[in-house]
Amino acid sequence: MSETSKVSKADAEVEQQTTVAPKDDPTAAPVAVVDPRLLVREEGLKGYLTEFKRKVKGGELGSLPVFIGLIIIWTIFQVKNDRFLSADNLSNISYFLSATGMLAIGLVFVLLLGEIDLSVGSVSGLASTVFAVFVVNHGMNAWLSLILTIVTGVLIGALHGWFFARIGVPAFVVTLAGFLGWNGLMLWLLGSSGTINIPAESGPVHLLGQSSFFMDQAIIGAYVLAGLAVLSMLVGSFMDQSRRKAAGVPFRPTSEILLRVGALAVASFAAAAVLNNASGVSNALVIFLASLVIVDFVLRRTTYGRKIFAVGGGIEAARRAGISVPMVRISVFAISGGFAAVGGMFFAGQTASATLNAGGGNTLMLAIAAAVIGGTSLFGGRGNVWSALLGMLVIQSIQTGLDLLNMNTSIQYMITGAVLLGAVVIDSVSRKSQKAAGRA
């Protein structure tokens, strides 16, 4: 190889890009796609703007519509009732979003495959009932009952996945049957009374109650959590930067890392200050946020997570890559069932009981809506678990705001339905834009 044919490592980094031809027009000129880390490192703020414009034109809107929607929703309700953004009301929003949010986390896994799980509401209700039967009727240890309850949810989900992946029954039909069947089992276990009251001092129920807070000291707990979040992001970002430097691939510059960490610090400590003005950070919210962090790591940083996205992006391509599609499908539905059971425990913690209404009503629809509104695509292959948090913020804000205005439940349903439709429309339009730009 001649000297003129050699390219330095630095030049290779700057020139590292791919060319993609739009799928709808193979004869069109290829579009250069530059790694955004290179744009930021080489152009600074201008690189940010260039990358932002590219994403918007290409239909890669991410969480932008959700944040804009939240700002609009909060502004409207605050104008209508100045108590909406009060510390007490925001504390209530943060607490009550966690139960349905747990169901939404599990649904994100299923939606990433382009499938649906209609059984999560019934499974969550059954889980709270199973826990109550173990603790109240059989006097079993509460924590052992919790473990068995979650295992029950996982096994139910795995059963759904087995019928879907091995027998070939459509997921819609399998989980619809589960929605009916598990709801019937819950009613049978509850008996004629329709309710089993759980002692409020029972470990998990007490932990997830509205009066239980992190570290039992509101101010210390809130700021400790904020500090841990900032420190974790700082350490993780610099470790990622170091690995990328060593591998000779594009990496985020230190200035960008500090900017991102600074933004998180402002948001985290501001949220801690607001919650401290109420009662502090509830244990339910802490567990919900911890679950999001762990699941986000699994999806983005592990081989298993990449397999889920691969199967959701294209089954045949995933199969040819050596991925066991049936096992991924079964495991995903098992995860959904497990999170449904955890969500059922959150509902039990809110009411200290298992009732006929547990997991019923519009719980299923709200969980699905949360995942979709937050940005997870119904078509599979695109999304993240943080959509469960963003979507639930939108939904819970609407419900709480309308309650403050004494609006009828029918209005809540109509507005939530309109927001869900808007989210799906945005998703569909962005997919078309990505196809036109050759990025789908």
pLDDT of residue 210 exceeding 80: no
Residue 333 has pLDDT above 90, yes or no: yes
Of the candidates 101, 93, 148, 143, which has an alpha carbon nearest to the alpha carbon of residue 399?
93
Q: How far apart are CA 367 and CA 388, in angstroms?
A: 8
User: What pLDDT, on the 0 to 100 scale, is given for residue 7?
Assistant: 38
Kindly state the average pLDDT of the residues 224-248.
Answer: 86
Q: Is 183 helix (H, G, I), strand (E, B) or coil?
A: helix
- Mean pLDDT for the stretch of residues 193-204: 85
What digits encode the pLDDT tens for the residues 376-398? 877 777 788 888 888 899 889 98
Rounded mean pLDDT of 344-366? 86
Q: What are the tens digits of pLDDT across the range 274-326? A: 888 887 788 899 999 999 999 999 998 899 999 999 998 888 888 998 899 99
Across-strand partners of 197? 353
Pick from 109-113, 176-180, 270-274: least confident: 270-274
d(CA 328, CA 309): 10
CA distances, 201 to each of 39, 92, 172, 212 (Å): 55, 21, 39, 11
What would the DSSP string read from start to end of 185-239?
HHHHHHTTT-EEEPPTTSHHHHHTSTT-BGGG-HHHHHHHHHHHHHHHHHHHHHH
Whether 251 shows a pLDDT value over 90: the answer reads no
Give me the mean pLDDT over the 366-373 stretch. Answer: 87
| pLDDT at residue 42 greater than cutoff 70 | no
- Give, in order, the Cα–Cα distances in Å from 132 to each of 199, 238, 249, 279, 287: 9, 46, 53, 28, 21
Check pLDDT > 70 for residue 52. no
Does residue 17 sit in helix, strand or coil?
A: strand
Per-residue pLDDT band for 150 (boundaries 50, 70, 90) equals: very high
Report the pLDDT value the prediction gives residue 112, as an integer from 0 to 100: 92
Q: Which amino acid is at 195?
A: T
Instruction: Evaluate whether 272 touches 222 at the Cβ level (below 8 Å).
Output: yes
Using the predicted structure, report yes or no on whether residue 47 has a pLDDT greater than 80. Answer: no
Rounded Cα distance between 23 and 402, Å, is 45
Burial pattern 256-267, b for ≥16 Cβ within 10 A else e, equals bbeeebeebbee
Label residue 38 by pLDDT band (50, 70, 90).
low
Q: What's the rounded Cα separation, in Å, for the pair 40 and 32?
A: 16
Rounded to two decimals, what is the model's pTM? 0.83
pLDDT, greater one: 126 or 46 = 126
pLDDT of residue 152: 95
| Rounded-to-integer distance, Cα 22 and Cα 30, Å | 7
Per cent of the chain over pLDDT 90 is 31
d(CA 53, CA 141): 56
Least confident of 270-274, 297-301, 326-330, 429-433: 429-433
State both tokens at 348.
């039990």
pLDDT at position 120 is 94
pLDDT at 156 over 90: yes
* Strand 17-20 to 31-34 pairing: antiparallel
- Residue 424 pLDDT > 80: no
The residues, any chain, with a CB within 8 Å of residue 215's CB and separated by 6 or more, are: 221, 224
Q: Average pLDDT over the chain, rounded to whole?
A: 82
Triad 357, 358, 359: Cα angle to 5°: 110
Answer whether residue 175 shows pLDDT above 80.
yes
User: Is residue 370 very low, low, confident or very high in pLDDT (cuts 50, 70, 90)?
Assistant: confident
Model confidence band, residue 21 (pLDDT cutoffs 50, 70, 90): very low
